[in-house]
C-alpha cells in the first residue's frame, strides 16, 4: 500500500509539472489597458503572452508639415473625418516610394483627430494573426480605433496574409464600426510579383483574365476601399520641403537660400529626393548653422 501511494504521488507530481509547462504556452486573457492613459497603443506579443502597451509619447506630425502631398492628405482626411463622426468609411492602403509621407500622414490624422476620440493601435506584421483578438478587445468602446500596419509586405504563403485578408473582408465575424485599418507599403499589392505570373493571363473574347497567382495577390489589396499612391518628389518639390523644415528650425531666408546646393548634394549622396531625406538634411543643416528645435 505504501509503494502504491508513493507511485501515485509521483505520478500526480509529474502531471502537475506537465500542466505547469502547458500553462506557460497557453495564451493568457488580454487585460484591457487604461484607455485614458494614451491616444496611441502598441500590440506586443511575447510567446503566449500578449498585451496592449500605451505609447505615452507618440510621434505626432502636423498636417501642415506634409508638403506636396495635398491630394493624399485631403482624401485620407475626409475618410478619417467620416470615421470619427461615426459615418461609413473605408480601410486605407497607402503605397509608393519610400520616405514620401505615407506613415507621416497616418500620424497626422491622429494628431488632428485624437481630441475627437480617434485612437491608434500599431500592429507589427508578425502579430497580424492576433487581429481578431484586438478587434474583440476594442469592440463596444466609445473611441474610434485605427489599426495601423506600417511598412507592410508579405512573402508567398505567409499566414499573416490570410489573417489580414479575413479581418478586412471575409470573416464570418463582423468587424465593429469603431475599427478601421490603415496600412502602408512599398508594394501596391503587398506581395512580390513575378514576370512568370503575367504569362498566366488569358485573353477571352477580348477580355484579359489574370492568372490565379495574380488574382490571389490583387484580392488582398482590393479589400482596402481607399488606395492612396505616393510618388518620388521632383527636385523643386524636394527643395520646397527642405525650405519648409529649415523655416521650422528658425533659419532666416538668407541661410535657407544658401542651403540649396548642399541640399541637392545631400539628396544625390542618399540616392533619393524624399521627404525623409529633406527632413534629415534640414536637421543637419540647422544644427550646423544655429537653428533651434522645431517649432
Q: What is the DSSP letter of 83?
A: H
Examine the pLDDT at 224 and tell me if it is beyond 90.
Answer: no
Q: Which residues pair with 204 in a beta bridge?
A: 207
| Alpha carbon distance 247, 270 (integer Å) | 22
Q: For the residues 132-143, what does the mean pLDDT come to?
A: 90
For the chain, domain boundaries: 35-230, 235-288
Kindly state the helix (H) or strand (E) to which residue 180 belongs, with its residue range.
strand 179-185
What are residue 217's phi and psi, to 5 degrees? Answer: -75, -40
- pLDDT at residue 155 tops 80: no
Instruction: Give whole-number Cα distances, 13 to 8, 9, 21, 25, in Å.
Output: 8, 6, 13, 19
Q: State the DSSP code for 153.
A: -
pLDDT of residue 144: 96
CATH of 35-230, one of 3.40.50.720, 3.40.50.970, 3.40.50.1700, 3.40.50.300: 3.40.50.300
Q: What is the pLDDT of residue 109?
A: 97
pTM tops 0.85, yes or no = no
Who contacts 61 (Cβ-Cβ below 8 Å, separation ≥6)?
104, 107, 108, 111
Contact 94, 105 (CB under 8 A): yes
At residue 126 the predicted structure's pLDDT band, cuts being 50, 70 and 90, is: confident
pLDDT at 167: 74
DSSP-derived letter for residue 65 is G
Confidence check: pLDDT of 170 > 90: no
pLDDT at 197 over 60: no
| Average pLDDT across the chain, whole number | 81
Biggest CA pair distance of the chain? 98
Residue 185 pLDDT: 87
60-93 per-position pLDDT tens digit:
999 999 988 999 999 999 999 999 999 999 999 9
- Distances from the Cα of 121 to the Cα of 65, 156, 268, angstroms: 23, 26, 36
What's the pLDDT tens digit per position in 260-273? 999 999 999 988 89
Cell of 291: 537653428
198, pLDDT greater than 60: no
Please give the Cα distance from 117 to 144 (Å, whole number). 6
Edge-to-edge, what's the strand order for the sheet holding 118-122?
49-54, 40-46, 118-122, 144-149, 179-185, 92-96, 226-230
Chain segment 20-40, per-residue pLDDT in tens = 554 554 455 667 788 889 999
For cell 503605397, name the residue.
95
Cell of 228: 492612396
Amino acid at each position: 500500500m505504501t509503494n502504491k501511494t508513493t507511485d501515485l504521488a509521483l505520478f500526480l507530481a509529474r502531471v502537475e509539472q506537465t500542466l505547469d509547462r502547458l500553462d506557460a504556452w497557453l495564451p493568457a486573457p488580454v487585460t484591457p489597458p487604461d484607455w485614458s492613459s494614451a491616444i496611441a497603443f502598441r500590440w506586443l506579443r511575447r510567446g503566449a503572452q500578449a498585451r496592449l502597451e500605451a505609447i505615452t509619447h507618440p510621434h505626432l506630425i502636423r498636417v501642415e508639415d506634409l508638403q506636396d502631398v495635398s491630394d493624399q492628405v485631403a482624401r485620407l482626411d475626409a475618410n478619417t473625418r467620416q470615421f470619427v463622426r461615426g459615418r461609413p468609411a473605408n480601410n486605407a492602403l497607402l503605397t509608393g516610394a519610400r520616405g514620401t509621407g505615407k506613415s507621416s500622414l497616418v500620424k497626422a490624422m491622429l494628431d488632428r483627430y485624437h481630441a475627437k476620440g480617434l485612437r491608434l493601435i500599431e500592429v507589427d506584421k508578425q502579430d497580424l494573426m492576433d487581429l481578431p483578438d484586438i478587434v474583440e478587445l476594442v469592440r463596444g468602446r466609445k473611441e474610434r480605433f485605427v489599426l495601423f500596419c506600417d511598412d507592410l509586405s508579405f512573402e508567398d504563403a505567409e499566414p499573416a496574409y490570410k489573417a489580414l485578408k479575413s479581418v478586412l473582408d471575409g470573416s464570418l465575424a463582423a468587424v465593429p464600426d469603431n475599427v478601421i485599418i490603415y496600412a502602408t507599403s512599398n508594394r501596391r499589392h503587398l506581395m512580390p510579383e513575378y514576370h512568370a505570373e503575367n504569362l498566366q493571363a488569358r485573353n477571352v473574347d477580348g477580355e484579359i483574365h489574370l492568372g490565379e497567382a495574380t488574382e490571389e495577390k490583387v484580392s488582398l489589396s482590393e479589400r482596402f476601399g481607399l488606395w492612396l499612391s505616393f510618388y518620388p518628389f521632383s527636385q523643386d518639390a524636394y527643395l520646397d520641403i527642405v525650405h519648409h523644415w529649415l523655416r521650422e528650425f528658425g533659419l532666416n531666408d538668407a541661410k535657407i537660400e544658401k542651403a540649396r546646393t548642399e541640399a541637392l548634394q545631400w539628396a544625390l549622396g542618399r540616392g533619393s529626393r524624399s521627404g525623409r531625406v529633406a527632413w534629415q538634411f534640414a536637421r543637419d543643416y540647422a544644427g550646423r548653422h544655429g537653428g533651434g528645435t522645431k517649432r
